[in-house]
Structure 1
Amino acid sequence: MVDPVWAGVVGGAIGSGATLIVALASPFASWWVESRRLHQQDMAARTIAQRQRRRELVREWREGMYESHTELHPRRNETSNADGPISDLTGRPWFESLRPHLGLTGSEVAEISAGFGHADQVRKLATEVVRIERDEWKLI
């Protein structure tokens, strides 16, 4: 049998070792839980900011389409091709921010840009904006 003194020494050593492990692990566990919570809050804030920025871009694109169409539509109807070229959408900030997101070929984008005063080109571009907003960014 085991001497009762040795049983007490071994029991005390095991108990104090377990206490030491808990004392050392407790701050780490608290830090880990807190860091996860802060990371989730940060990710939620970034997601909200990204959604707001995307909504702002869609608003800018729609306003730009409206302003450009109201500017170019009368000029396209009043000006013959002999009077010289009519400006296209290239270089307009709203169009340049939209261009990388378009799912169209380069020739389709050039066609829309050059003929934007016509209603069918406006519809095609508006359909692309809706596709980006709904399907890619899932804003609606």
Structure 2
Amino acid sequence: MSAQTYYVPEQSRFPIFMAVSLFLLVMGASSTINNLDNPDSNSSYILYAGFASLFTTMFFWFRQVIKEHLAGLDSNQLKTSYVYGMAWFIFSEVMFFAAFFGALFYVRSFAVPWLSGEGENGVGISAIGLWEGFESSWPVMTTPDKGAEYALAEKSMA
């Protein structure tokens, strides 16, 4: 460890390269999936270029971080900031999934039964005004328009 209090690395282009390679990867994957039935499509090359640029960028970025560590440019304060950053990342992921599953629970337990008339003494304004005759079931299998025609999995809604 060095005697410096905090090491600030020089400006890097790695985040931009990573963003471009992730863009290539997503575009290549979506193009490849959309052109699966077309054997003449060259979209898989975009996917391969995205994978190659992603792994190349990761290799050089990790190599740079390892070089900085082996040169003794990091300190205890930098290590602590890495630990705090990872802790905040994990906390944000936990909060995201709590919000996601909380919203799912809310819809399942409160919103769908309210649409079917539970609440306000069994005659909810939404049950009469929005969708008369709605029966709550989970998951909701039909829509008011043409849902009955497309309820089976083998039919397409297109």
TM-score, normalization: structure 2? 0.28
TM-score, normalization: structure 1? 0.31
State which structure, 1 or 2, has the greater radius of gyration over its C-alpha atoms: 1
The answer to which structure has the higher helix fraction is 1
